[in-house]
């Protein structure tokens, strides 16, 4: 059961976190040529309307987990009472400072979903500051915060800053998650997405290959995360002009997606359209 939960979590991170990011790398929904022809307008990190305190609080309440609020309200009921809670190690889940950091992160994610990337970064940095002080620099929560910052900058198309945050997440992640952990693979995957966006396709392929190796080992060769990674490797090869390698990777992804997601799933359809496009593409060497 625990293993299935890990697989579902990794699939959500790979399939969900990067979708708005990768739209600039892929075909649009009307069949425009793939790679290099982005139809997404860049969103400066400084953009976004300021929200009032009341609006921010409302968003925080809407997106905060019920468990977090319950833990905050039951701190005094922790083993030994409030006095024991005050003296407990800071890594305990009901630590008030960590719950505040959690709320900052949830608010940051909500603002990111609204397209207010500047506001999201501000809130996530508040969470990062608390987590670095309470649990330390080398902790999974700290690594995860860098990861989320990297995704936010990536979706804002601030790719240099995204690389900086994702590299920090990877450095920590290899220590606290392990070199072959799914979360480490997700970080390699996101690095590959950013490098593809910068047209640095060779490096993008290298990072995606690292993610692929881990996903195939930990989640399986027929997992959605494996397919999605193959798909983006196909994008990178297409960007390099290597049509044959692009079709090979799209084809592998399509087989997995058809079996696991069905023929009519949007991801399956997207991969099929790209494969079909390159199969019909005239041979430039002819």
CA distance 124 to 111: 10
Q: Tokens for 270? A: 């997207």
Can you give 80-92 as a three-state secondary structure string?
A: CHHHHHHHCCCCC
pTM: 0.71
Please identify, in words, the CATH class of the domain defined by 50-66+91-200: mainly alpha
Nearest Cα to Cα of residue 188 among 45, 27, 13: 13
Domain residue ranges of the chain, discontinuous segments joined by +? 50-66+91-200
- pLDDT digit of tens for each residue in the chain (286 aa)? 555 555 555 555 665 455 333 332 222 222 222 222 222 233 344 444 444 444 444 444 444 333 433 433 333 333 333 333 333 344 445 689 999 999 999 999 999 999 999 999 999 999 999 999 999 999 999 999 999 999 999 999 999 999 999 999 999 999 999 999 999 999 999 999 999 999 999 999 999 999 999 999 999 999 999 999 999 999 999 999 999 999 999 999 999 999 999 999 999 999 999 999 999 887 654 3
Residues ≥6 apart with Cβ < 8 Å to 112: 120, 151, 152, 155
Contact of 209 with 233, CB cutoff 8 Å = yes
Q: Tokens for 197? A: 């966006």
Contact of 147 with 166, CB cutoff 8 Å = yes
């Amino acid at each position: 059961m625990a293993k299935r939960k890990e697989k579902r979590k990794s699939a959500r991170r790979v399939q969900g976190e990067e979708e708005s990011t990768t739209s600039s790398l892929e075909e649009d929904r009307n069949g425009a040529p793939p790679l290099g022809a982005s139809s997404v307008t860049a969103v400066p990190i400084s953009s976004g309307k300021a929200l009032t305190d009341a609006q921010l609080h409302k968003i925080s309440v809407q997106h905060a987990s019920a468990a977090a609020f319950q833990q905050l309200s039951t701190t005094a009921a922790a083993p030994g009472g409030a006095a024991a809670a005050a003296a407990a190690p800071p890594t305990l889940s009901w630590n008030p400072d960590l719950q505040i950091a959690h709320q900052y992160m949830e608010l940051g994610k909500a603002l990111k979903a609204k397209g207010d990337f500047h506001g999201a970064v501000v809130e996530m940095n508040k969470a990062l500051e608390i987590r670095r002080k309470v649990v330390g620099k080398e902790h999974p929560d700290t690594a995860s915060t860098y990861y989320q910052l990297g995704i936010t900058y990536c979706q804002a198309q601030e790719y240099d800053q995204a690389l900086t945050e994702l590299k920090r997440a990877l450095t920590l992640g290899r220590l606290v998650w392990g070199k072959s952990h799914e979360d480490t693979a997700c970080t390699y995957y996101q690095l590959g997405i950013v490098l593809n966006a910068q047209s640095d396709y060779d490096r993008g392929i290298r990072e995606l290959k690292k993610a692929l190796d881990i996903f195939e080992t930990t989640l399986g060769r027929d997992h959605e995360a494996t397919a999605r990674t193959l798909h983006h490797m196909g994008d990178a090869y297409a960007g390099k002009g290597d049509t044959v390698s692009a079709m090979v990777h799209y084809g592998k992804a399509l087989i997995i997606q058809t079996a696991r997601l069905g023929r009519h799933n949007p991801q399956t359809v997207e991969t099929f359209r790209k494969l079909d496009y390159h199969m019909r593409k005239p041979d430039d060497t002819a």
